[in-house]
A and B are shown apart, each in its own frame.
Chain A
Amino acid sequence: MSRALALAHRLSGIALALFLPVHFWVLSRALELDAFLAWTEQPLVKFAEWSLVTLLALHLAGGLRVLALEFLPWRGWAKGLAAAAAAFALAAGLAFVVSGMR
């Protein structure tokens, strides 16, 4: 679990780093925001949005795990932290879907 989460943390970091320039480029063209938002209504783009939110939550939780392991004295909870991080990412992904439906 810990090893899988470390790999997920790294892969999500790479994906987010590659996504950031695109995200910034779109936001800097705020006047065309409505045309862009219309484009994001496509199912595949919706799925990509959900993936990015989940990856962001995963990277956050994975990063908090790293900080806890490196800076807190007791390491006996490594497995629990990995499971908590995965659960947090899943919860964030679900929260995004549910929020979007309201």
Chain B
Amino acid sequence: MSARSETLLWVTQRASAAVLAVCVTVHLATIFYAVQGGLTGAEILGRTRGNLGWAAFYTVFVLAAAVHAPIGLRAVLAEWLGWRGRARDFLLIAFAVLLAGMGLQAVRGVFA
């Protein structure tokens, strides 16, 4: 992969990290709030169904994670397993698409 592409991935990883820093902080606060008094499906879905603001927030969260996780795994595969090259990158692109697809399905399941 060219030096330019590597730089682009580095910048993308830091940019997605900055977005995720906000998303994860909000998500952790939401978890601490929501688990008080136990969780029920009706309680969760009562809060989430039709809530466009939270649906938009979690859509951004899912897409940022779908970009961030494969780029992180790319470095792990190269440095720990010595796996570089196109096959690895195709697999990681597939993983990104899988995460985005499954994540958006999850947002639809909880908020629609």
Q: How many residues of B contact A (CB 8 A)?
A: 39
Least Cβ–Cβ distance between A52 and chain B, in angstroms: 10
- Mark out the residues of chain B between 2 and 47 whose CB falls within 8 Å of any chain A CB in the assembled complex: 14, 17-18, 20-21, 24-25, 27-28, 31-33, 35-42, 44-45
Residue contact A56 to B14, C-beta cutoff 8 Å: no
How many residues does chain A have at the interface if contact means C-beta atoms less than 8 Å apart?
35
Return the chain B residue nearest A63 by Cβ. Answer: B17
Closest 4 interchain pairs by CB?
A: A33-B41, A27-B106, A24-B102, A34-B41
Residues of B within 8 A of A (CB): 14, 17-18, 20-21, 24-25, 27-28, 31-33, 35-42, 44-45, 62, 65, 69-70, 72-73, 76, 98-99, 102-103, 105-110
